[in-house]
Amino acid sequence: MTAARAPLRYSIFSVNDHHPDLSRTIPQLYAQVMRHCEMAEAQGYDTFFCAEHHFHAYGVVPDPAVMLSALAQRTERIRLGTAICVLTFHDPRQIAETYSMIDMMSGGRLVFGVGSGYLKHEFVGYDSNPAEKRDRFNENLDIVKRLMAGETLSYQGKFSQSEQVAINVRPHENRVPPIHVAVLARDAMEHVGRQGNRIFTVPYASCKDFEDIGTMLTDYRRGRNTAGLPADDDDHVVTLHTYVARTDEEARAHCKGAYERYVETRLYASRHTYEDIIRNGICLFGSVETVTRKVCQLYEMGVRHVATLHNFGGLQARLVERSMTLFANEVMPAVAAEVGNEALAA
């Protein structure tokens, strides 16, 4: 008898990019995000991730906790994630309190993605020294984990000092929610694995081509193995821009302009075109058959959690919803049939 193969998790990632030159207003974007979360739950997606960004149209959700609290009231089962909460810019005591409250309000559905930040204008806006970001992040993450775990904390760190501090709202059932550390630099993958942290990755910012995603994950797993940590199919999230259509040509016609508009908002990054990302393969753009094949390839690389980014570049809401639906109704079951899963992850 063949052993059952681990199921895939599929999620939605909303970067919340706003384009003032388009007719869609910020309130309309917020309404779309909330509707898409409700749709994602109905369609069987695992988690709805929301980005945090500041001081630029690249992202107009400065506090994911506000958005997630609204989403928690509109949904019952789908997990709710940050992608990511920028710990470098915030008091870790407040973060521990706020996200424990979100986890409690949602019935234990928080997936807590955290990171140190990477956009220059955000460090300028917060008057934060980017040279300190790694040390500040590590210290803040340590404080957040310990407070969420219920510790009464006396802490004398480089950036924070506390005497006998304990948060009065613990996460749901007093368990620390899953924490994923955002990693963009390839050379950090093995190091983060050795630390025992889960990871949240965006391969188009880290990898040279589609096959390199597998190499990146191997580096991470090598670090975990070095630290004596067991294999864990829920230790990573891999995020890819996604648009599913009936044909590859239709996908190009629908989302090329939106993708290139999105790229234009990415400050400090090298500019590339739709053809560039099709060439390097670091996306899930194309027909049901094309996207199914690529997800199966990800599975063979060891990827078990794929976050799909459908809403980008001001893409029309009806097209975002069509892509989400085709992915859920046709790609997910086709992949399950191909890799031998009996069911998708609960």
pLDDT surpasses 70 at 221: yes
pLDDT surpasses 80 at 182: yes
- Which amino acid, 272? H
pLDDT tens digit sequence for 139-154: 999 999 999 999 999 9
| pLDDT mean over 33-61 | 96
Average pLDDT, the chain: 93
pLDDT surpasses 50 at 79: yes
The superfamily CATH assigns to domain 9-339 is: Luciferase-like domain (3.20.20.30)
Annotated domain spans of the chain: 9-339
264 band by pLDDT with thresholds 50, 70 and 90 = confident
pLDDT surpasses 70 at 270: no
pLDDT tens digit sequence for 235-249: 999 999 999 999 999
Q: How far apart are CA 251 and CA 247, in angstroms?
A: 6
- Flag the least confident range among 206-210, 281-285, 338-342: 338-342
Question: From its phi and psi, is residue 244 left (phi > 0), alpha (psi between -120 and 50) or beta?
Answer: beta
Question: Is the overall model pTM greater than 0.85, yes or no?
Answer: yes
Q: How far apart are CA 64 and CA 85, in angstroms?
A: 7
- Which amino acid, 59? G
Question: From its phi and psi, is residue 117 left (phi > 0), alpha (psi between -120 and 50) or beta?
Answer: left
